[in-house]
Amino acid sequence: MKNIVETAADAGTFKILLKAAQEAGLVDTLSGDGPFTVFAPTDEAFSKLPEGTIEALLKDKERLTEILTYHVIQEKVMANDVVTLSKAKTANGKELSIDAKDKVLVDDAQVIKTDIDCTNGVIHVIDTVLLPD
Give the model confidence (pLDDT) of 54-111 as tens digits.
999 999 999 999 999 999 999 999 999 999 999 999 999 999 999 998 899 999 999 9
Q: Per-residue pLDDT tens for 1-30?
A: 999 999 999 999 999 999 999 999 999 999
Residue 131 belongs to some domain of the structure:
no
Q: Quick check: is 132 in a domain? A: no
Q: Is the dihedral of CA 28, 81, 83, 90 positive or negative?
A: negative
Residue 71: give its domain's CATH number.
Answer: 2.30.180.10
Domain assignment of residue 37, given as a range: 4-126
Q: Is residue 133 part of a domain?
A: no
**pLDDT at position 133:** 83
Residue 36 resides in a domain: yes
What local confidence, expressed as pLDDT, does residue 104 receive? 94
- Percent of the chain scoring above 90 in pLDDT: 97
Q: Is residue 48 part of a domain?
A: yes
Q: What pLDDT sits at residue 73?
A: 97
Is residue 44 over pLDDT 90?
A: yes
Sheet holding 121-126, edge to edge: 72-73, 36-41, 121-126, 109-118, 105-106, 95-99, 87-89
The structural domain count of the chain equals: 1
